Amino acid sequence: MELIKWRKARRSGDQGGACVEVARFPEAVAVRDSKNPDGPKLILAPSTFRALLDDIRR
């Protein structure tokens, strides 16, 4: 069984506040709150994830 590799987003701070983690899958990108790893995850198509990032950057 392959483990899911979560990584902390580059823009998440080191102050222990709002930390976002992402995991890549062949056909999806998952997003979760690092303070609640067993909580809900947002699963997005790669194109939707890129659009979200573009909107956040603007």
Residue 3 lies in a domain: no
Residue 8 lies in a domain: no
**Helical spans, DSSP H, in 1-58:** 46-57
**Six token digits for residue 25:** 């899958």
- 16 phi-psi bin (left φ>0, alpha ψ -120 to 50, beta other): left
Residue 26 lies in a domain: yes
Q: What is the tens place of the pLDDT at every residue in 14-56?
A: 666 668 899 999 899 999 998 898 999 999 999 999 999 999 8
Range of the domain at 28: 20-57
Residue 32 lies in a domain: yes
CB 30, CB 43: distance < 8 Å? yes
pLDDT at 17: 65
CA-CA distance, 11 to 23, in Å (whole number)? Answer: 15
Residue 11 lies in a domain: no
Residue 5 lies in a domain: no
Q: How many domains does the chain have?
A: 1
> Is residue 13 over pLDDT 90?
no
